[in-house]
């Protein structure tokens, strides 16, 4: 059977009811008995990539003098605190949402796209787990669509998907007016139950059968998404997800090594929000310095 190549416009589909929907060009594939109703959904942070994508984006901004290395060290410490405590509550999530709102306000979409592409090539691509990327490639070669699903801004997810030749990305969406971000979110943070709802919505829009789909994640926070599909795989799992996976008989893939694989907890979505908040604080301080 001849390889199939499908071109899809990169961007947020204005007619889609799926929050955070953004498509990338589909990579050419040679399907082997493809199932058009199946898809694979991959979390990004610590599943597809080592660490939090928003953190590496922040590192790239720091290297470009958008804020200081002191700001970066401050929110890196906060992220570590959340790694160790693995706690999320309503207050954390509210702070994360407010941080996301403040972070993008006034930015031009084209500038974020350019920076995300540059920073992916510099800092993110070397941290893509080779094993997870291989799993995604296997799905593509079997004619299965592959989507990233992350609490990270959909623009970052879209860049990662495009660079890896995946189908597209679902992520947190910021409102855009006249080519710039307003500082308001479209919907809520793509976290926990919101991920499952988005996957279900995408399945309806794309004609997928969730029983034929598979999801990959490192975090127990993604249990709603993992249980919404027919097959779940724990990748580099935190302790809670590892326990759940063993109880449910799910496949476990761990691409970390040694004691590190057992003891390091994953950063929570709230931690990513704290990162965004620290970036926001750094950008605000930079604006104040420039205005003097």
Domain count, the chain: 1
pLDDT digits (tens, 9 = 90+) for 252-283: 999 987 544 443 333 444 444 444 444 544 54
Residue 277 included in any domain: yes
For residue 18, the domain's CATH number is: 3.40.50.1000
Give a yes or no: residue 1 inside a domain.
no
pLDDT in tens, 64-97: 887 666 665 665 555 554 444 444 554 555 555 5
Q: Which of the residues are catalytic?
A: 43, 45
**4 lies in some domain:** no
Residue 123 is assigned to a structural domain of this protein: yes
- Residue 179: inside a domain: yes
Residue 201 sits in which domain range? Answer: 11-291
224 assigned to some structural domain: yes
Closest CA to 185 of 154, 150, 231, 144: 154
Residue 6 lies in a domain: no
Residue pLDDT, tens place only, 134-165: 999 999 999 999 999 998 889 999 999 999 99
**Does the pLDDT value for residue 198 go beyond 50?**
yes
- Asked if the structure places residue 2 within a domain, the reply is no
Residues sharing a CB contact under 8 Å with residue 219, sequence separation 6 or more, in sequence order: 43, 46, 47, 237, 238, 241, 266, 268
Cβ burial 94-129 (10 Å sphere, 16+ → b, else e) = eebbbbbbbbbbebebeebbebbeebbeebbeeebb
Say what the pTM is: 0.77
């Amino acid at each position: 059977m001849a390889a199939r190549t499908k071109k899809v416009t990169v961007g947020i589909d204005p007619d889609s009811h799926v929050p955070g929907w953004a498509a990338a060009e589909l990579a050419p594939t040679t399907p082997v008995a493809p199932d058009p109703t199946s898809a694979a959904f991959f979390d990004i942070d610590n599943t597809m990539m080592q660490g939090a994508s928003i953190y590496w984006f922040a590192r790239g901004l720091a290297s470009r003098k958008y804020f200081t290395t002191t700001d970066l060290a401050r929110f890196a410490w906060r992220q570590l605190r959340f790694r160790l405590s693995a706690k999320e509550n309503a207050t954390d999530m509210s702070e994360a949402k407010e941080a996301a709102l403040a972070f993008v306000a006034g930015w031009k979409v084209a500038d974020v796209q350019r920076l995300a592409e540059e920073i992916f090539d510099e800092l993110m691509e070397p941290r893509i787990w080779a094993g997870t990327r291989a799993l995604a490639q296997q799905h593509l070669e079997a004619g299965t669509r592959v989507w990233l699903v992350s609490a990270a801004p959909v623009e970052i997810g879209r860049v990662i998907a495009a660079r890896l030749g995946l189908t597209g990305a679902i992520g947190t969406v910021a409102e855009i007016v006249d080519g710039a971000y307003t500082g308001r979110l479209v919907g809520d943070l793509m976290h926990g139950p919101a991920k499952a709802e988005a996957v279900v919505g995408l399945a309806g829009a794309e004609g997928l059968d969730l029983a034929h789909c598979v999801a990959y994640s490192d975090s127990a926070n993604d249990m709603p998404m993992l249980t919404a599909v027919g097959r779940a795989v724990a990748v580099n799992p935190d302790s809670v997800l590892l326990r759940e996976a063993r109880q449910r008989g799910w496949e476990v893939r761990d691409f970390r090594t040694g004691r590190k694989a057992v003891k390091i907890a994953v950063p929570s979505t709230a931690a990513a929000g704290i990162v965004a908040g620290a970036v926001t604080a750094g950008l605000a301080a930079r604006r104040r310095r420039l205005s003097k």
